[in-house]
Amino acid sequence: MEFVTFENVRAAAGRLGGIALRTPLLPFSENTGQPLWLKPESLQPIGSFKLRGAMNAIACLDAERRACGVIAYSSGNHAQAVAYAAKRYGVPAVIVMPDVAPRIKAEATRAYGAEVVEVPIGDQIAKAHALAAEHGLALIPPYDDGEVIAGQGTVGLEIVEDLPDVDVVLVPVSGGGLASGVGVAVKALRPQTQVIGIEPELAADTAEGLRLGQQVDWPVADRARTIADGLRAQPSELTFAHLRKVLDGMLTVSEDEIRAAVRVLARQARLIAEPSGAVTTAAYLFHSHELPPGKKVAIVSGGNIDPVLLTTLLT
Amino acid sequence: MEFVTFENVRAAAGRLGGIALRTPLLPFSENTGQPLWLKPESLQPIGSFKLRGAMNAIACLDAERRACGVIAYSSGNHAQAVAYAAKRYGVPAVIVMPDVAPRIKAEATRAYGAEVVEVPIGDQIAKAHALAAEHGLALIPPYDDGEVIAGQGTVGLEIVEDLPDVDVVLVPVSGGGLASGVGVAVKALRPQTQVIGIEPELAADTAEGLRLGQQVDWPVADRARTIADGLRAQPSELTFAHLRKVLDGMLTVSEDEIRAAVRVLARQARLIAEPSGAVTTAAYLFHSHELPPGKKVAIVSGGNIDPVLLTTLLT
């Protein structure tokens, strides 16, 4: 297995200049014993950090292969990331989605110029591989890929550049691409900084797996219970190996804590966060006694929340 | 009358480093004939650009005078700005508010450590002057002040630094401090860039005044009709003179357009904007044919909106 290196992350940062937004660190609670800054990836053009990994993976394809087009399976933020990145490169993109995905997601993806192929739920991965082979499209995985991980790692690079004495970085964990990349970057630049992964209690497979020292498999139906719809995936062998190496710990948050964190981010930071993006703030707000002391950064990974759900959480 | 110079703005920028957030330019609509970037001042620690002017004015006081404390009259974003800035300097702050102001605003101001004095509506200015004289406090005006204008001007400086070929800057106009400062900075750095002031139709005193070439006075009750509660003030002699000199035009937007812009900013840019902060986006969305062509920046001046109002606008 080949581990992503800090040099991979630094190279990705060079490719992302002028494409991914360099998100600022927002001081959230400066004058307490627990100073916190937010890293609002919700402000990326597609509303999520996923743009970084997709863009880097597409940039790393050889030009001839890239020109044939790219394909991805996703009904979430990765779909829009690949569609957006392909458009920036002027290459065709096909996104395979389950036909039960909300219509709004398919439309958002089409708006970036991608072709959306809808298939019965469960068939997406097979269909994507079949179409890739048939049409010579390059498959861009959501997290199980070194260049995707390196792209997401640029979030960590920017955090340490902007707050060189950061003590704790809180990062959401799902498939593990973001947490792997951030961990690689932060540990390379400042080994004493603690990188803590955050999961919903209802999808805490990684917390359990790291405790046991081996991957565990939670049933999809169990993981689907959390409101944090971006955190229902599980690490691959590649990302799990990275997480074992770079994370200093895991912490889980409840559904009520996630809902409250969405509300606090809206009211106090004027940020629209999706539940998956709010888990790190939930950890800060409700579990500070379980976190190492010092200057903390919470990665707000995305902001694509249904407006109706947002209204129910705001007041 | 002494006009604010670009050197004043540059000096203010030096004082604000590490205190006001350097807000990023967010690409909102890149691939159209009308590319737009947002300048989200809603992300400042107090949720508004007002921090810049208040901080610069307090920084410019001589140290002995500053140590005696500062005072301001406001029930809006300027109150929190002065309270926050005073706290950063470790000096006392008194804010005079009308006793009809929402309790939440007084509490937010007290949370920054300021003393809040509540008086019958209409008495704020006289009370602030009386307390200033009695206790030797320095009065920090919301916009009728060269150093406040210079501080707000740093928004314009950052815009041109980050997008050197910007063609049009859209800026909300109320008391005129922000528009004056932004105009001074933008015109100094890039004279051909058009700076357009935006007002609600229901509080369009400045649009009318600039058309007539002299200040006009709209009754408070008329101006109070707009949902954009931060845009109900009128320029002073000082700011009106600046606006005549630096603005290339004015444009007004309707209440429905403002409401729609708040919704679009939430859904498409994941930003929580207050109605006053959304007028520039409203101008872009609904009046693009009346705007000069080219690369545009809309200043989203603040994000302090009542959560109940926000929920009614979201869906």
Any idea what the CATH number is for the domain that residue A119 is in? 3.40.50.1100
Q: Collect all residues of chain A within an 8 Å Cβ-Cβ radius of residue B22.
A: 24
| pLDDT for residue B30 | 62
Among A17-21, A205-209, A267-271, the range scoring the smallest mean pLDDT is: A17-21
Q: Collect all residues of chain A within an 8 Å Cβ-Cβ radius of residue B162.
A: none
Residue tagged active-site, from B50, B127, B187, B296: B50
Residue A134 sits in the same domain as residue A165: no
pLDDT in tens, B265-298: 999 999 999 999 999 999 999 999 999 999 999 9
Residue A209 sits in the same domain as residue A294: yes
- Residues A159, A169: contact at Cβ < 8 Å? yes
pLDDT in tens, B153-172: 999 999 999 999 999 999 99
Identity at B145, one-letter amino acid code = D
Flag if B270 and A23 touch (Cβ within 8 Å).
no
Flag if A27 and B40 touch (Cβ within 8 Å).
no
Q: Which residue does chain B place closest to A28, by CA atoms?
A: B45
Residue A156 sits in the same domain as residue A22: yes
Residues A55-61 have a mean pLDDT of 97
Residues A196-218 have a mean pLDDT of 97
Number of structural domains (chain A) is 2
pLDDT in tens, B42-81: 999 999 999 999 999 999 999 999 999 999 998 789 999 9
Residue B56 sits in the same domain as residue B40: no
Residue tagged active-site, from B42, B75, B174, B301: B301
By a Cβ cutoff of 8 Å, what residues of chain A touch chain B? 21-24, 26-27, 30-31, 40, 42-43, 45, 47, 87, 266-267, 269-273, 303-304, 307-308, 310-311, 314-315
Nearest to A22 among B24, B43, B307 (CB): B24
Tokens of residue B125, six digits: 């200015």
Flag if B270 and A266 touch (Cβ within 8 Å).
no
Nearest to B271 among A21, A272, A308 (CB): A272
- In this prediction the pTM is 0.96
Residue positions counted in chain A: 315
Residue B102, in any domain of the structure? yes
Q: Collect all residues of chain A within an 8 Å Cβ-Cβ radius of residue B303.
A: 270
Give A267→chain B minimum CA distance, Å: 7
Residue A166 sits in the same domain as residue A215: yes
ipTM of predicted assembly, 2 dp? 0.95
pLDDT in tens, B217-235: 999 899 999 999 999 999 9
Point out the domain boundary residue: B139, B157, B183: B139
Q: Is the pLDDT of residue A31 over 70?
A: no
Q: Is the pLDDT of residue A133 over 80?
A: yes
Residue A24, in any domain of the structure? yes
Q: Tell me which of A305 and B121 has the higher pLDDT.
A: A305
- Residues B181, B4: contact at Cβ < 8 Å? yes
| pLDDT for residue B29 | 79
Flag if B24 and A21 touch (Cβ within 8 Å).
yes
Q: Show the domain range for A75.
A: 51-139
Burial classification of residue A30, based on how many CB atoms lie within 10 Å of its CB (0-12 exposed, 13-18 middle, 19 or more buried): exposed
Residue B164 sits in the same domain as residue B265: yes
Nearest to A43 among B21, B22, B26 (CB): B26
Annotated active-site residue B301? The verdict is yes
Angstrom distance (rounded) from CA A50 to CA A78? 6
- As a dihedral over the C-alpha atoms of residue B99, residue B105, residue B110, residue B111, rounded to 10 degrees, the angle is 160
Angstrom distance (rounded) from CA B200 to CA B226? 7
Residue B269 sits in the same domain as residue B304: yes
Annotated active-site residue B39? The verdict is no
For A21-159, strand residue ranges (E) read: 26-29, 36-40, 70-73, 93-98, 115-119, 138-139
Flag if B21 and A27 touch (Cβ within 8 Å).
yes
